Structure 1
């Protein structure tokens, strides 16, 4: 928290003047870790496929990687509805559903 200790410190992170939503603090460490693993794989997939040569394959791979990133960010509470506006049980359910969908991508 900042010296003022505002509520915003628990909800937002400022990096280079840009405001980013923090991960929902109600989520368990295990759930956050699993979602962040998917997030990392998605981001890596976007980077890797953008450097490939086949435009059609790159477009499809980038779309799939962005889907993974979006699901992970929504599960973490970093995108979508503001996590602090929802009951904790709904936030945890949303994160678990995102994880279920992400795991299904690997099947």
Structure 2
């Protein structure tokens, strides 16, 4: 069955099957947004893997990455439409700096260590 997905008239929310979700901040430049979405996907994937392995410490770290990415995208925290342009830019640049710091030197998105 197809999912019903549509934005609200104000553009702040996306309604999926009757449930409202905050939309990504449209002011984020595509390159930064793509990096944030990459961290989000990596965090979600790592959360599932850690849960399956019963590794609470790894799960907490993965959830931290997911939360930082969601904040950077504007999906959590102060709504992006209530922030100034400077606050919005600071939100996503600080989130990216913190997310990138979670990776060790030489790590590349999507790669794992042995």
How much is the aligned-residue C-alpha RMSD, in angstroms?
1.2
Moved over 2 A (4+): none
State how far apart, in whole Å, the 2-side matches of 1:17 and 1:65 are: 28
1:17-96 matches, within 5 Å, as 17-52=18-53, 55=54, 58-96=55-93
State how far apart, in whole Å, the 1-side matches of 2:31 and 2:85 are: 16
State how far apart, in whole Å, the 2-side matches of 1:68 and 1:20 are: 19
RCO higher in structure (CA 8 A, sep ≥6): 1
- Report the secondary structure of 2:61's partner residue: helix
Q: How many equivalent pairs are there?
A: 98
Q: Deviations over 1:15-57 (max 9, x none)?
A: 12111000000110001000000000000001111111xx4xx
More helix by share: 1
TM-score when scaled to structure 2?
0.82
Unmatched segments (≥5 aa) in structure 1: none
TM-score when scaled to structure 1?
0.87
